[in-house]
Structure 1
C-alpha cells in the first residue's frame, strides 16, 4: 500500500482526527476543543477549524447551534440508514463496473483482499477499512462514474466506525463475501458476482442490527 503525505496542514489534521474517531480513540460524544487540539497536534487554530468543518460534512463531528462540537454518536437507526445508503450507491457502481473488469482489475482486487484479510487478522481497523473499500472501488472506477465514487467516499469512514468495535464479527461478512466474488469472477460469472455483492449488504445489515440490539 502506498503512503501519501497530506499536502496541507488541514489535510494532515483531517486525517489524524478521522483516524482517532474511526478507531475509537476519540469516542462518540467527545467534546472537540479547537485550542486543545491545536496544541496537541502542533498546528494553529485555522487548520483545526477547517478540519472540523470537513469532518462535519463527512458526518463524523456534530456542530450544535451554539457552535460546540462533539464526535457524532452512532445510534442503531442512523447506523442502519448509513448501511442502506452505502448499499444503494455501492451496488449501483458495482453493477455498472463489473462487466468492464479486466484480468488486471481482478488481480488488483485479489491483492487488496489479501491486505484486507491480513489487516482484519491483526486488528488494524484503518488498514482493513482502506483495503476493504478499495476492493469495491476498483469495480466502481471501472464503471467510469467518478461522481458516484465521490459520493460513496463520504460514507466509508462512518461505516468503518460501525465495524471498528467488532473486528472478528462484522468484518467476517465482508471477508467471505469478497472471497466468493473473486471465485465467481474467475469463473466468468459476473451476474453471480453482482448478486453475491448485494448479499453482503443484506447480511451486514442484519449483523449490525443484531450487534446494536445486544448492546
Structure 2
C-alpha cells in the first residue's frame, strides 16, 4: 500500500481522510459533513463527496439511509473477521508470488523492512504501516494478480484504522520479527520456509490482538 503524490484532488482528499481515520484523528462515529471538510481542506464539495463515496466502498465511512455519514464503528467480531480476511488474501498472494521473487524483489523487501522499522523508531506510524504493507505487496505483485493486491489494500486500510496502534505498541514486534525471518528464508533460497513463516505471522498476530480489541 504505497502512499504517493495523488494525481487528482479527489485522490488527495481520499488520502487525507483515510490517514485521519487510520490514525484515529477522526474517531469511529465521527459525523462527516461535506461543507466543513471542503472548507478545511480547501477544495470544492465535489471531490469531498467523491472521496466519501470511495471511503464508503473501503468500509471506512458508513452512509446511513438518511444520507448522514459517520466514520465506521467496529465490533470485536467484525474486527477479527477483517483480520482473518486480511490474512487469507495476503497469504494467498504471497503463496502465488513467492516462487517468482528475484534477488531484486528480495532486496526491495529488505529495503521496505528497514523503512518499516525506521518509521516505528521515529514514531511515524503511517510511514511504517505503508512500508510494512509494501513488504507484502512486492510478493503479491510478483504473482501478477493486481486485482488481489487492490483487495488487500482495502482490507489493510480498514484494519489499520481499527487497530490504531501507536508506534510503541508491542504488537508491531510480530511483524518485525516475522518479516526478518521471512527474509532469512528467502535469502537462503527457501521459499517453502518463507511461505510458512509468512502465514505464521497472521496466526500469531490474531492470537495476540484478540484480547486487546476494544478493551477498556
TM-score class, shorter: over 0.9
- For residues 53-132 of structure 1, the aligned pairs below 5 Å read 53-132=53-132
Deviation at 1:3, TM superposition (A): 6.8
Distance 1:94 1:108 in 2: 15
Unaligned regions of 5+ residues in structure 1, if any? none
Deviation at 1:116, TM superposition (A): 0.2
Q: Does the alignment pair 1:19 with 2:19?
A: yes
**Contact 1:163–1:170 (8 Å) recurs in 2:** no
Change (3 A) 1:213 1:62: closer
Deviating more after overlay: 160-169 vs 176-185? 160-169
- For residues 1-215 of structure 1, the aligned pairs below 5 Å read 4-167=4-167, 168-212=169-213, 214-215=215-216
Deviating more after overlay: 67-76 vs 47-56? 67-76
Distance 2:124 2:161 in 1: 13
Change (3 A) 1:114 1:105: same
**Contact 2:3–2:130 (8 Å) recurs in 1:** no
Distance 1:108 1:83 in 2: 25
Instruction: Say which SS state the counterpart of residue 65 (structure 1) adopts.
Output: coil
Instruction: Say which SS state the counterpart of residue 70 (structure 1) adopts.
Output: strand
The CA RMSD over aligned residues, in Å, is 1.4
Unaligned regions of 5+ residues in structure 2, if any? none
Distance 1:46 1:214 in 2: 38
How high is the TM-score relative to the length of structure 2?
Answer: 0.95
Distance 1:25 1:193 in 2: 36
Offset from partner CA, 1:26-79 (integer Å, 9 cap, x none): 111100011111111111111111100000000110111111110011221111
Distance 1:212 1:123 in 2: 22
How high is the TM-score relative to the length of structure 1?
Answer: 0.95
Deviation at 1:144, TM superposition (A): 0.9
The total of aligned residue pairs comes to 214
Distance 1:9 1:190 in 2: 42
Deviation at 1:169, TM superposition (A): 1.9
**Contact 2:163–2:213 (8 Å) recurs in 1:** no
Moved beyond 3 Å, runs of 4+: none
Distance 2:127 2:54 in 1: 21
